[in-house]
Amino acid sequence: MQTNTSTLTHIVDLDYYTHNIRVISLHAQMFSHNKQIKKDFYSEFEDILNKDSKIPSFIYKQYSKFILPDFLKKNLNYLKKYLNFSQAECDVFVFFYYANKGRFALHQGYSAALGKKIIEKIFNLTPKDINKALSDNSMLFKLDALCYYDSDAFGIDIKNFENIFTQDISKTTLMSEFSYFLPKTRLNLSDFDYIQEEFNTITTFLKKSQKGNIFIYGKAGVGKNELSALIAKELGKEALCVKDCEDVKKSNRISNFYALKKIINPKKQMIVFDECEDSLCYDSLKEKIRINKILDEENGICVFLSNSNEMDEAYLRRFDMILELECMPKEKKIQNIKNLFAKKRLKIDEAIIESIASHPELSQGVILKCANNAKIFKNKSQEVFVRLINENLKARSLRTISMPKKDKKYDLNLIECDLNLQELINNINENSSLRILSYGIAGSGKSEFGKELANVLNKTLHSYKLSDILDPFVGNNEKNIANIFKKASKDNAILQLDEIDALIYSRDGADKSWENSLVNEMLMQMENFEGIFIASTNYLQSLDKASIRRFDLKIEFQTLKQEKLLKAFEFFSKELNLSFDKKQITKRLLRLQNICLGDFALILRQNKIFKIKNADEFLEKLEKESKLKSDDEKINMGVFITKIYAYVKNNLF
């Protein structure tokens, strides 16, 4: 057979890349006598392979095997040494790299059977070796080195580790494919002294076992990464994080985690899997089984971090220890905020520190980030700091904090109720365990009582409204109720809950199981709470009768009677710098039967916009508020009578 000399010249002494692509091409087409060059050679390739085609022996010998550069051979040895690749898996990996770089795999009609025959001829592999290398249990697919894009046409592409074909790598650069070093923390063990016992338990266990899966969860910014860095420091190990670049999907992160488990030195290194909840959440049974197997493999220490503990129980059972990391206690927050601003040479008011530290939803991470951004504004750093904090809280639909105000404090003696509040507050000590139900008309001073009690006892006040607790998803309300009691207990704070009637309403009309569940959860938490709990309501008649009996004290807050109404008018007139004739004002004032302290506070807020000129105008505004309340009462009574009439008509006639 004659051979085209120019063709031979063209194919001799080419680089590795071109050589290996031509090796594939030589096996894929009838090189010297295919006259139908316009016809797609892939449609005929299977026939060509099955025939004993007489390719010149010296060409076949020259281009029958791959030639690999020395650096690639070394890189493949790294895959075998550190990631347990078999020789067959390395060969298949190399084949698909060159096949996809050339035109061979870019055409339809490239069947799996055909591809396997080519691999078999080039690498002298058995069909069994090839099938094993291409199975789901192969390291190529466990580590996402390869991925199918068209299984019918044997469409397999390189997904990870492509740099081993282009550069000389080391163990370190191989590890950088799927990991990075956990940044050092600026925090110390003293910053986590509120979980000192839990920290000691975890580190003691890991020191002795030198292996284990630890799960730490908590809201964003509470310091999970910092705690992981301190655990690594305590153990004397490097902390390597599973890579989480934007182009790395959750399935890839599991593969990266698996690769990291294979390659680390357990004596010197440990793994941190941050935001693991994004990866450990598959509906696919096949993927769940894969993850379970990876978690069960014991190779060193792995710390899993998550913002939530909402994950499959099958995964939770595989963790040796679980820790919920909560926000720092108030005292620790105050200390850290002061230190933070002192280091940055910034001033901050004690009142702002108190407000921020008292907020149960503000984590150390949020505070630190806002402080770092606020320092740029120097003289306005305090205002900017508060604004940034509030923007973060508003974005999360949480209660904001306020700049310190020089508001005049209300005199508790002006609050009208059925017992002496000042005497009650004096008799309560900071270690008291007390459940108080405060009820009465809106604005009668129920909230002020809670603030004054917290102030006298020098305790933090955790105050919540109904909107802070209710959630549209069934079951979350119970969790939220449990959480507010847990936080108050941990911070040794007074817990005040407004609109309690919406949570422990009468169960006589409850027709859904979750309604009873909500009441039961509330009562159970009240029973177990060892601090001071104040529940407020405007509608005592709506409360569950059994629930009312659980309160140690029931305090009725009332509208102001004559004596306190006059004292209140005098007190707030001084606040407004108004003088008045007592005899002239008293007669009109005492006609008002439904005024409470909240009405005075409302008029003071109105005064910021429309200045009150004299005492008569002040009294007119009070009379207007009184009339509005009277009209509301008439409307409510009218609605009540209408409902009674409709009931009688429908049931008795």
pTM score, whole prediction: 0.63
Question: Average per-residue pLDDT in the chain?
Answer: 78
- pLDDT over 90 at 302, yes or no: yes
The whole-number average pLDDT for the span 32-37 is 36
How many Cβ atoms are within 10 Å of 431's Cβ, its own excluded?
A: 10
- pLDDT over 50 at 5, yes or no: no
pLDDT number for residue 322: 94
Cβ–Cβ under 8 Å, residues 615 and 579: yes
pLDDT number for residue 298: 78
For residue 239, what pLDDT band results from cuts at 50, 70 and 90?
A: very high
The whole-number average pLDDT for the span 34-57 is 43
Cβ–Cβ under 8 Å, residues 557 and 415: yes
The whole-number average pLDDT for the span 165-189 is 86
The whole-number average pLDDT for the span 553-572 is 88
pLDDT number for residue 420: 84
DSSP 603-627: HHHHHTTS---SHHHHHHHHHHHHH
* Residue 103, both tokens: 């035109």
Per residue in 281-299, pLDDT tens? 765 666 778 788 888 887 8
For residue 107, what pLDDT band results from cuts at 50, 70 and 90?
A: very low
pLDDT number for residue 590: 83
The whole-number average pLDDT for the span 542-560 is 86
Distance CA 53, CA 108 (A): 23
Question: What percent of the chain stands above pLDDT 90?
Answer: 17
pLDDT number for residue 216: 95
pLDDT number for residue 369: 83
pLDDT number for residue 89: 93
pLDDT number for residue 304: 94
pLDDT number for residue 449: 86
Distance CA 502, CA 510 (A): 12
For residue 251, what pLDDT band results from cuts at 50, 70 and 90?
A: low
- pLDDT over 80 at 630, yes or no: no
- 303-to-212, 231, 306, 362 alpha-carbon distances in Å: 8, 9, 10, 24
Radius of gyration of the chain (CA): 38
314-323, 619-628, 640-649: least confident range = 640-649
Per residue in 450-480, pLDDT tens? 888 888 888 888 888 877 787 777 678 888 8
Distance CA 215, CA 199 (A): 13
Per residue in 48-103, pLDDT tens? 444 444 444 555 566 678 888 899 999 999 999 988 899 999 999 998 888 877 65
What are the φ and ψ backbone dihedral angles of 181, each rounded to 5 degrees? -75, 135
For residue 279, what pLDDT band results from cuts at 50, 70 and 90?
A: confident
For the chain, report the end-to-end CA distance as a whole number of angstroms. Answer: 115
pLDDT number for residue 212: 92
45 burial (CB, 10 Å; 0-12 / 13-18 / 19+) is buried
- 233-to-119, 147, 228, 270 alpha-carbon distances in Å: 48, 38, 9, 11
pLDDT number for residue 32: 31
- 319-to-2, 213, 216, 280 alpha-carbon distances in Å: 70, 5, 10, 13
pLDDT number for residue 273: 93
E strands along 5-88, which residues? none
E strands along 387-505, which residues? 434-440, 461-464, 494-497
pLDDT number for residue 543: 83
- Higher-confidence position of 317 and 653: 317
The whole-number average pLDDT for the span 566-586 is 84
pLDDT number for residue 160: 76
For residue 587, what pLDDT band results from cuts at 50, 70 and 90?
A: confident
pLDDT number for residue 153: 56
